[in-house]
Amino acid sequence: MRKIWRYKWWLLALLVLLVLFGSSSMTYKEQTSVPFLERVLANEPLKDVVARIHINYGQGDIIAMPGHTYFQVIEFIVRKIAHFGSYFLLGWFLTSALREKIQPAWFRLWMVPMMAGGFAALDELHQMFTGDRSPMVQDVVLDMTGALTATIIILLVEQLWRRHVAKRDRLSLLKH
């Protein structure tokens, strides 16, 4: 059990990839959350705010009302947050897994988003063979941004922690 624990970050990254693969294996109809949103948000809260949203995404597609329903706009936003969030987690787990293996730290800042981008591109390619789904370069960019954001945060936290430990050690030496 202790040996498996050493690989926790790799296992968590693999889990994220398996969930992503499973998700991209489903058609839009199998995956849509519109019926759920119609039940949960039946009274259409903040509809006036949602009506002002216009997102240019893809090849000239405008996600907005009245071209789309309130629930379709909400679903689109949730799906893009899920893209960013899942790759944020992947970036976090990969950055942490590579902590001991890849030095200097700035190299992880480059390597992790590239790895995530490779996975994202393969995932979008996989979607090309899934009914009612379309691969989008914009999703790969969004995914890489999620991984990059996580990597930056992890590296900043590591740097702050190193400074804290160094300061604590200097104070400890001064006391003795």
Name the average pLDDT for the chain: 89
Residue 152 located in a structural domain: yes
Whether the per-residue pLDDT at 113 is higher than 70: the answer is yes
Is residue 2 situated within a structural domain?
no
pTM, to two decimals: 0.86
Calpha distance 154→150 (Å, rounded): 6
The pLDDT of residue 141 is 95
Rounded CA separation 90/103 (Å): 19
The answer to whether 151 touches 136, Cβ cutoff 8 Å, is no
Within a domain: 92: yes
User: What does the pLDDT average to over 14-38?
Assistant: 91
In a domain, 110, yes or no: yes
For residue 6, pLDDT beyond 90: no
Q: Are strands 61-64 and 54-57 parallel, antiparallel or unpaired?
A: antiparallel
102 versus 113: the higher-pLDDT residue is 113
The total of structural domains in the chain comes to 1
Which tokens belong to 82? 């899920």
pLDDT band at 15 (very low <50, low <70, confident <90, very high): very high
Q: Look at residue 47 and tell me if it is in a domain.
A: yes
Cβ-proximal residues to 62 (8 Å cutoff; 6+ apart), any chain: 54, 55, 56
Which range is least confidently modeled, 49-63, 64-78, 79-93, 107-121? Answer: 49-63
In a domain, 3, yes or no: no
According to DSSP H, which parts of 25-136 are helical? 28-31, 34-40, 47-51, 70-97, 105-128
Q: Which of 32, 119, 103, 104 is nearest to 74 (CA)?
A: 32
Q: What are phi and psi of 6, to 5 degrees?
A: -60, -25
What is the percent of the chain with per-residue pLDDT over 70, rounded to a whole number? 98
Domain that holds residue 40: 8-175
Does some domain include residue 1? no
